[in-house]
Amino acid sequence: MSAILPPEDRVWWKQPLDRVEGTWVVIALIWCLIMFFMMPYWHVFGKQNLANEAYRTTPEVYMKKAQDMVDKFTVRTETDQKIPVVAPPAGSDVYLVARLWSWWPILELEAGKSYRIHLMSMDWLHGFSLQPENINIQVHPGYDHVLTVQPTRAGTYSIICNEYCGINHHTMSSKLYVK
C-alpha cells in the first residue's frame, strides 16, 4: 500500500506507467543525452580541452629539462630567493616544476602565442591553479603533463596550489607574466 510495505499488486511490474512519470523520464533522458554530446562536441568545436598528453618520467629527468630551459631563457631573477624569470620562445616546451612548497621557475609568456607547458610534481600531489583565469589542473609526481596553452590577455597572473600538500600548502604561490 505504501513504500514501506510490500507492493499491493503482486505483479507490480505490469502496472502501467503514469503519464507524469513517463513524460519526465523521456525529457530527463533527452537532457542527459544532450549533456553527454556536449563533451565530444567541445572537443571538436571548443577551444578549452585537455589533450591528455602525458609521459611517465622521473623527477631527475624532468628537473634536468627544466634546468636546461632556465639556463637558456632566464631574463632576470625576482624576490629574495632569486627565482629565475624565464621567457621561452613561442611554441617551445616550457617546464614548470611543482614541489614542496613552490612553483619554479617564474614564466613570462607572450599573449596570443602558444606554448607547450609541462607540469609535474617532484614529490606529492599539487594543484596548478591559474588566477584570476581560474584554470585548475591536478599535478602528479611521475607524470609529465603537457598542455598547449595560449594566453589571451597581457597581465600579471598568479599560480597558486589548490591541492592540499602539507603544512605549508597555503604558501605555495607564484607569478606568471603575460606580455
Partner 1 sequence: MAVNRMFRTCPSTGLLFHEPAEKLMKAHAVAAVVSLLVGGILALGVTLTRWQAVHLLSPDWFYLFLTAHGVDMLVLWIIFFEIAILYFASSTLLRCRLATPGLAWVGFWLMILGAIMNNYAIFSGTSSVMFTSYAPMGAHPAFYLGLILFAVGALIGCFVFLGTLVVAKAERTYNGSIPLVTFGAVTACIIAVFTIASGAIILIPTFLWSVGLVEHIDSLMYRTVWWGFGHSSQQINVAAHVSVWYAIAAIVFGAKPMSEKVSRGAFLLYILFLQLASAHHLLADPGLTSNWKIFNTSYAMYLAVLASMVHGLTVPGAIEVAQREKGYNRGLFEWLRKAPWGNPVFAGMFISLIGFGFLGGISGVMMGTEQLNLIIHNTIYVPGHFHATVVVGTTLAFMSLTYFLIPVLFRRKMLFPKLAQWQPYLFGLGMSAFALFMMGAGTLGVPRRHWDISFAGNAMPYEFPGAAWLMMALTALAGLAAVVGGAIYLLITVGSVFFAPRVDVPDFKHVRAAEGIAPAPAPVAAAIAAHHPNVGMAGFVAPGTLVLAMVFLISFILYYFVNWKYLSTVWPLS
Contact set with Cu ion (CB under 5 A): 126, 161, 165, 169, 172
Does 15 interact with partner 1 (rule: CB under 8 A)?
yes
Stretch that binds partner 1, among 63-71, 75-83, 90-98 (CB under 8 A): 75-83
Of 64, 68, 90, 150, which one interacts with partner 1 (CB under 8 A)? Answer: 150
Q: Which is nearer to Cu ion, 41 or 164 (CB)?
A: 164
Q: Is 63 left (phi over 0), alpha (psi -120 to 50) or beta?
A: alpha
Residue 45: name its binding partner from Cu ion, partner 1, none (Cβ under 5 to 8 Å by kind): none
- Nearest Cα neighbor of 163 from 172, 151, 174, 154 is 172
Give the residue with the Cβ less far from partner 1, 93 or 133: 133
User: Considering the complex, what minimum distance in angstroms separates the CB of residue 4 from partner 1?
Assistant: 5
Q: Exposure string (b/e) for 18-30, b if CB count within 10 Å is 16 or more?
A: eeeeeeeeeeeee
- Residue labelled with grid coordinates 594543484: 127
Q: Residue 61 CB, nearest distance to partner 1 (Å)?
A: 16
Selected range binding partner 1 among 62-70, 89-97, 146-154, rule: CB under 8 A: 146-154
Q: How many residues bind partner 1 (CB under 8 A)?
A: 94
Sign, CA dihedral 72-76-79-80, equals: positive
By a kind-dependent CB cut-off of 5 to 8 A, residue 126 interacts, out of partner 1, Cu ion, none, with Cu ion
Task: Round to whole Å and give the CA distance between 117 and 99.
Answer: 16
Total length of the chain: 179
Q: Choosing among Cu ion, partner 1, none, which partner's interface includes residue 60 (Cβ < 5 to 8 Å by kind)?
A: none
Residue 44 binding partner 1, by CB under 8 A: no
**Residues near 43 by Cβ (< 8 Å), separated by ≥ 6?**
49
Q: How far is the CB of 167 from Cu ion (least distance, A)?
A: 10
DSSP state of 13: G
Q: Please count the CA atoms within 13 angstroms of the CA of 156 that sit on its side-chain side.
A: 5
Q: Report the partner that residue 138 touches, choosing among partner 1, Cu ion, none (CB closer than 5 to 8 A by kind).
A: partner 1
